[in-house]
């Protein structure tokens, strides 16, 4: 669940992720927020859970500091929840 501290929508998430702006991404979450990550190492049946704004900030700072491109393919928003699909690629 994404608990928001400011107005956030798919366009805002896309801009922040593709712009590698960890500070902006972190500003979208409250202190009690929960992020669930589903990827090749964390399947839908056992997603990685990141709890709290401090931990979420560390997560986004790490992701955004890497020399890679980020692309947001799709976003879905409903109430205080936002889901998105992100693809990342390291340079050759």
Please list the alpha-helical segments (H only) found in the chain: 10-18, 22-26, 53-65
pTM, two decimals, is 0.83
What are the sequence ranges of the domains in the chain?
10-89
pLDDT tens-digit profile of 41-81? 999 999 999 999 999 999 999 999 999 999 999 999 887 78
* CB 84 within 8 Å of CB 15: no
pLDDT tens-digit profile of 10-45? 899 999 999 999 999 999 998 999 999 999 999 999
Its CATH class, for the domain covering 10-89, is: alpha beta
Q: Per DSSP, which regions of 1-92 are E strands?
A: 34-37, 48-51, 69-78, 81-89
Label the pairing between strands 34-37 and 48-51: antiparallel
């Amino acid at each position: 669940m994404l608990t928001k501290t400011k107005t956030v929508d798919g366009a805002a998430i896309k801009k922040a992720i593709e712009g590698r702006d960890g500070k902006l991404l972190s500003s979208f979450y409250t202190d009690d927020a929960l992020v669930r990550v589903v990827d090749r190492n964390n399947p839908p049946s056992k997603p990685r859970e990141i709890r709290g704004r401090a931990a979420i900030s560390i997560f986004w700072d790490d992701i955004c500091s890497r020399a890679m491109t980020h692309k947001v393919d799709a976003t879905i928003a409903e109430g205080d929840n936002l889901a998105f699909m992100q693809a990342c690629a390291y340079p050759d």
